[in-house]
Amino acid sequence: MKRILETLVVALVLVLPLAACDDDEGTPTDTHVDGDAPTDTIPDTVPDPTPDTDVTTDPGTEDTGGDPGCVSITGGICNLVTQCGCSPGYYCEIFINSEGCTIIEDCQAGSGTLPVESECTALGQCSPGMACLRYTGEETGHCYEWCIDSSDCSIAGRTCDVTVNFTDGASCTSVPSPYQACSVGCAADAGCDLFDATAGTPCPTGQMCARDNPIASGGCDIMMCIEEGTGALGDECIDSGSGCLPNSGCYGNPTDGYHCRAYCDTTHTCSTGTCTTLGSEGEPDLGICI
């Protein structure tokens, strides 16, 4: 399963939720979860997480660029990965046109300075060629490198496989980015328990234990604390974020949709449905009730 991030607004999926960093120009939309399954009744054990990103809708001070040889992906005047096309003092950023919910590259004055994989909390903090992304439920985002293929990732072992979605916080939601982002290193395991909120290392008040997406996060297979959701079992949910009540997660596939599913294992059986394992190396018996 591939995780999708959102710009802090995106987006890696928990199958835990992944969201983008908040700032005054957008509202975070979601973040990480698990799931990937055939197009039949069995949900995807590794859902394709799509982080949402809050992107500004106003590029600000106009820069017409000045590099006719710069090739953009959306037809804009610059390129997010190579950072070509902008005049000195400007950097290439991606914007959303709220009228048509389309995305285009344009030049933005100034730039952030944080290096790749640094923690961030808002758009514009990361260095050119990066975006502050987070999965839904995460308090803090990280600076993700934009990429077209893995050769664009500056850190050895990172792969260009993080899908990112954008939102303007109003009429446009889950608008897919034409660029992907490079994976980042694994976070520390929270040490929480999916079935017992008081066991292990309890999550802070208002948060719950969830399983991080092992594929979207570049091979991570950890437990993490995310914001508690309100979705009951069977409710529709966002593939890149949980949004579900404790002891459950958002699983499914693009064809059949994503729904809140109860977690199960050898000692926690399903009240309804059958326990289908998720293939976790750290938790080999962990599954969801389908």
Predicted confidence (pLDDT) per residue in 84-143, tens digit: 999 988 999 988 888 888 888 999 888 889 999 888 888 789 999 999 887 655 667 889
Q: Is 138 in contact with 52 (CB distance < 8 Å)? A: no
Q: How far apart are CA 242 and CA 37, in angstroms?
A: 17
More confident residue, 54 or 208: 208
Q: How far apart are CA 82 and CA 70, in angstroms?
A: 9
pTM equals 0.56
Q: Is the dihedral of CA 123, 127, 129, 135 positive or negative?
A: negative
Identify the band that residue 149 occupies on the pLDDT scale cut at 50, 70 and 90.
very high
C-alpha separations of 30 from 16, 47, 110 in Å: 10, 14, 28
Angle at 286 between CA 18 and CA 32, to 5 degrees: 0
Q: Is 226 in contact with 242 (CB distance < 8 Å)? A: yes
Q: How far apart are CA 96 and CA 66, in angstroms?
A: 22
Identify the band that residue 253 occupies on the pLDDT scale cut at 50, 70 and 90.
confident
